[in-house]
Amino acid sequence: MEKPSDIGSDLLRGSTPSLVLAVLHEGPAHGYAIAKRINKAAESPLQLKQGTLYPVLHGLERDGFVTGEWEHPEGERPRKVYAITPSGNAELVRRTNEWKRFAASVNTVLGVKFETV
């Protein structure tokens, strides 16, 4: 039987920046919260290995799609909170459209029909 975590490790790797941007589109968050949102939202098929999130965030920040700011709450560990930028929002739209086209093409070739829930 296929394990949920086996489903998308390769697919997930390429999609992680889009998922991160989508999560941040809803509001600023630190890395742990982003990972939790991704893993929870997908209800198990997308089990992100969470350590790979920070390289993605580093790249998105370098590209100007997100900004990060360190917070130092009293008595707690410092954490970096990330927020999406206007160019990040534009990138999210671009990636979403690209994904739709890609998914539609793959579905056509595979003969997959979506069932609306």
Binding site for another protein (CB under 8 A): 30-32, 35, 49-59, 75-80
- Calpha distance 28→108 (Å, rounded): 36
Of residues 87 and 105, the one with the C-beta less far from another protein:
87
Nearer to another protein, 55 or 106 (CB): 55
Kindly tell me which of 41 and 112 has the beta carbon lying closer to another protein: 41
Pairing label, strands 66-71, 79-84: antiparallel
Minimum distance between the CB of residue 16 and another protein, rounded to whole angstroms?
Answer: 10
Least distance to another protein, CB of residue 81, Å:
11
User: Among candidates 26, 97, 22, 27, which has minimal Cα distance to 56?
Assistant: 22
Closest contact distance (angstroms) between CB of 78 and another protein is 6
Q: Which is nearer to another protein, 87 or 107 (CB)?
A: 87
Q: How far is the CB of 105 from another protein (least distance, A)?
A: 26
